[in-house]
Structure 1
Amino acid sequence: MSNRHIQLLAIGGAIGTGLFMGSGKTISVAGPSVILVYMVIGFMLYFVMRAMGELLLSRTDYRNFSDFAGDILGPWAAFFTGWTYWFCWIVTGVADVIVIASVYVTYWLPLIPLWIPALAVIVLLILLNLPSVRGFGETEFWFALIKIVAIVLLIVIGLIMIFTGFEHDGAQASFLNLFNIEGGFFGGGVMGFVMGFQIAVFAFVGIELVGTAAAETKNPEHNLPKAINAIPVRILLFYVGSLVILMSVVPWDRFSADESPFVMLFSLAGLGAAAHLVNAVVLTSATSSANSGIYSTSRMVFGLATDGDAPKLFAKLTSRQVPRNALFLSGVVLLSSIVLLIFGLDKSTGFSIVTTISSLCFMFVWTIILISYLVYRKRRPEAHDLSVFKMPGGTFMPYVVMAFFVFLLWAFTRDADTLAGLIATPIWFVVVGIGYVLLRNNPQHHKLRKAHEERVAEEKRQAAAYVASKQS
């Protein structure tokens, strides 16, 4: 993938479907303080990305974060990280396919059987990823571009409405609406602010996508840092910018949890096709999310297979270097979405639980990245000194971010649906643990463990020699 692909992939990963559809719920719960919620989450995850960036660039043979987790922490970390990341995107992909079929497509074709658009989406995703990695990059480039255009259009129209004094139902568009409505900036109260975190964190899943694409990127030493460093600006523009505009045009207490704020603003602006426009954008966003998921899961399973953590069948590549069998595995598992559609799924409770499980599994992966970084700093001080992309605050920020993740775990206990997801998530880790115990008898795995132990011993000797040379 070229620079424009990796840059738009980073943007697409940072802008989830939650912004277009879920922001109505976060606004109605937290009020204007939701702006602070998105800023805090974005700030914390920026350091996860910086840690990931330094680690990926520390060795040329790292294909993704599962590779450096296994190399630094041991084979168990590669196994748990790889399969958990696969599970993260499978859960998210199933949810995306269900939403596409049951909400977005039926908006235009209400009489169509739900399994037809679901199957069509899965087939489309496989066809987009099968030819080459460039095909995936090109598709994501245009998907992300559509999201960017929609957000920029919302900000421009909103600014025009604010500066022209637009009025609706007795309320005038003004930046003062962020502070003058009952309750002020923290209109949802302290618990509303906390609840905003449990809803908003799902909007950021996929922010680490550039890490799974690093091995298939041209000039990663230049393009990867550039994409990661631009994340704060993108969050300020796309998340914070759009939310400020939305709540300035329409007072926050008039937002509905079940309505897209984008539809509301475009409708107020007199755009008759607003609902159709936003439906098309959100359909694109959900398809983009599922497309990213099937790409990243296929690469992760391929990496697991080459390391002996998955059947060798999934380590085969096509003539264009695409892991076809791993791709088909993810596509087949996504067919479970059709089963859920046939038997019915409670869109409210069901999706709250699904998004909670996905968020928690992503938080596990982000935590493994941070722990890997801390161990890397201890064992390989010379590699850190030579790094051209050092993580700022690398000695203490990983602890700050992990403490923030503990806060998020507590926030998930504050709601019945998210608590159910929190209770259900450990089942996955039990399954992965059983798989790992069974795999320990694999000769390839024995070889990897022995190589890891020898590498750790050598790194400790090198670190001791490096410290001694510094002291002298």
Structure 2
Amino acid sequence: MTEKNQTNDQDLSRGLTSRHVQMIAIGGAIGTGLFLGSGTAIKAAGPALILAYLITGIFSYLMMRAVGELLLSNTKLHSFIDFVREYLGNKWEFAIGWAYWLCWASLAMADLTASGIYLRYWFPQLPQWVTPLIVVAILVTFNLINVAWFGELESAFSSIKIFAILALIVAGVGMIAFGFHTQGNTASLSNLVSHGGFFATGGLGFILAFPMVIFAFTGIEMVGLTAAETKSPEKDIPKSINSVPLRILLFYVGSMIVIMSVYPWNKIDASTSPFVQVFSGLGISFAASLINFVVLTSALSAANSAIFSTSRTLYILGNNGHAPKSFSKLSKANVPYVGILVSAFVFLGIVLLNYFYPSKIFVLITGVATISFIFVWIIIMLTHIQYKRKNPNPADTFKMPFFPGSSYLTILFYLAVLVVLLFNAETRISVIATVIFFAAMIIGYIVWERKNKKELK
């Protein structure tokens, strides 16, 4: 990409249509965790996982409403990161900006790792590090062309995920309606309560499932980065956010009800995708290959979103003096090409990690990603609370429902999940590391500001 001379009026292009924003919102609401990680979550919580998805979905929607109200209060600002600066100050913008970059960078690394694992299902001799290298090269090329290409690619990935979930629900409802018999089981809604009750693993199992559920929702806030590149943000953003509850009910709650009605929760194999088990029960011989293809596209979707999110975050940080100014440079197509290339270069670090630690890196990175996102969501809620304090009677109509109680409850929910993660031996190190990272970002801001002041003298 040839760099375009920077001018004061050059800005990100508004190349995302209403359809793009809708599909980006759907893609953010459906993660790899639903297709692959739900088996482990089912084993942890039993049928109560349905309630865990519902509760997490409610608070995720409230967080999105906070994002929506912020964005529509001033469409001249590019993203929720700009609002953090506006209402919490430069120090927190620096910290949250780099933390959000870490969120997506770590998520990209996790999903790039997963893409290598999924592709080896068909090509077992393929080195695990080769796939991330190819994927990054292809996705970067699409993202460098213009933002509309990113939107089209994300729309295609989201369509595949939607089709897979709808196919599962339709097939499962049919199996339940006709009392389908498979592997000694009868498909019935009674399976939700007849194998140890709804809370079959007890209250502890129910609570321990929340971190896994949270991981499935990571990236849902990405719509909050599209405002500057959406043709009609005042119309498209409320529309996409208000459809979140329906998507959660359909994609998460609906699919879990179907899966655990078709198969008793205690007979679901946690080592494979529950989607595979349902389709296999219908006699579909290529079910495993089909779902492997779906989770592969889901991983590619996350990597594609990561390139978009990290590059826009670097653009904002560079524009506001919290990162090298070169990060805010735009190409002729008005995309932040420096941010895209810098992020892609970091992502390729996963190629080396996969080469040296192919079996260990995935769990470590997913833990960091999940906890980092929780911290970001809490900061978003605090920003929204501060906005409401300074604007007690805002003119906009897209107001946070049940404020202020809803905002404080959402923060308490996320803090409670962090406590669960802290008391879990497997994720304790990730929590501590993320806290240290945030502290380092605050210190980093102080150092960065001192450096800038010296340069100005």
Query: How high is the TM-score relative to the length of structure 2?
Result: 0.94
8 Å CA contact retained: 1:301, 1:326: yes
The residue aligned with 1:307 is 320
Whole-Å Cα distance in 1 between the matches of residues 453 and 234 of structure 2? 31
- Superimposed CA distance per residue, residues 274-331 of structure 1 (whole angstroms, 9 cap, x where no aligned partner): 1111011000000000100110110010010010001011111001101101100110
What code does the residue aligned with 1:188 have? Answer: T
The residue aligned with 2:411 is 402
8 Å CA contact retained: 1:29, 1:195: yes
8 Å CA contact retained: 2:112, 2:303: yes
Whole-Å Cα distance in 1 between the matches of residues 437 and 385 of structure 2? 26
8 Å CA contact retained: 2:109, 2:365: no
The residue aligned with 2:303 is 290
8 Å CA contact retained: 1:439, 1:445: no
- Report the 3-state secondary structure (helix = DSSP H, G, I; strand = E; otherwise coil) of the residue aligned with 1:270: coil
The residue aligned with 1:351 is 362
Give the drift of 1:359.
1.4
What code does the residue aligned with 1:158 have? Answer: G
Equivalent of 1:268, from 275, 281, 286? Answer: 281
2:446 aligned with 1:433: no
Counterparts in 2 of 1:446 and 1:371: CA distance versus 1, 3 Å? farther
The residue aligned with 2:22 is 7
- Superimposed CA distance per residue, residues 165-196 of structure 1 (whole angstroms, 9 cap, x where no aligned partner): 11123321000100111x20001111110111
Counterparts in 2 of 1:340 and 1:8: CA distance versus 1, 3 Å? same
Equivalent of 1:188, from 201, 206, 214? Answer: 201
Specify every segment of 5 or more residues in structure 1 that has no aligned partner in the other structure, as ranges: 448-472
The residue aligned with 1:52 is 67
Specify every segment of 5 or more residues in structure 2 that has no aligned partner in the other structure, as ranges: 1-15
Give the drift of 1:104.
0.7
Give the drift of 1:446.
11
Counterparts in 2 of 1:328 and 1:413: CA distance versus 1, 3 Å? same
Whole-Å Cα distance in 2 between the matches of residues 351 and 408 of structure 1? 21
Alignment length (residue pairs): 441
8 Å CA contact retained: 2:75, 2:227: no
What code does the residue aligned with 1:320 have? Answer: A
Give the drift of 1:422.
1.5
* Structure with greater proportional helix content: 1
- Report the 3-state secondary structure (helix = DSSP H, G, I; strand = E; otherwise coil) of the residue aligned with 1:381: coil
The residue aligned with 1:334 is 347
Whole-Å Cα distance in 2 between the matches of residues 132 and 445 of structure 1? 38
Equivalent of 2:81, from 54, 57, 66? Answer: 66
Equivalent of 1:316, from 313, 329, 341? Answer: 329
The residue aligned with 2:4 is none
Whole-Å Cα distance in 1 between the matches of residues 356 and 288 of structure 2? 29
The residue aligned with 2:421 is 412
Give the drift of 1:443.
4.5
What code does the residue aligned with 2:365 have? Answer: V
The residue aligned with 1:136 is 150
8 Å CA contact retained: 2:75, 2:233: no
8 Å CA contact retained: 2:94, 2:442: no
Equivalent of 1:153, from 156, 167, 171? Answer: 167
**Alignment identity in percent?**
45
Counterparts in 2 of 1:131 and 1:253: CA distance versus 1, 3 Å? same
Query: How high is the TM-score relative to the length of structure 1?
Result: 0.91
8 Å CA contact retained: 1:64, 1:211: yes
Moved more, 401-410 or 35-44: 401-410
Whole-Å Cα distance in 2 between the matches of residues 207 and 143 of structure 1? 15
2:79 aligned with 1:79: no
RMSD: 1.5
> Matches of residues 172-251 of structure 1 in structure 2 within 5 Å?
172-181=186-195, 183-251=196-264
Whole-Å Cα distance in 2 between the matches of residues 224 and 445 of structure 1? 41
Whole-Å Cα distance in 2 between the matches of residues 118 and 402 of structure 1? 35
- Report the 3-state secondary structure (helix = DSSP H, G, I; strand = E; otherwise coil) of the residue aligned with 2:130: helix
Give the drift of 1:445.
11
Give the drift of 1:255.
1.4
The residue aligned with 2:389 is 378
- Superimposed CA distance per residue, residues 437-463 of structure 1 (whole angstroms, 9 cap, x where no aligned partner): 11112558999xxxxxxxxxxxxxxxx
- Report the 3-state secondary structure (helix = DSSP H, G, I; strand = E; otherwise coil) of the residue aligned with 2:112: helix
- Report the 3-state secondary structure (helix = DSSP H, G, I; strand = E; otherwise coil) of the residue aligned with 2:335: coil
Give the drift of 1:435.
1.8
8 Å CA contact retained: 2:25, 2:222: yes
The residue aligned with 2:57 is 42
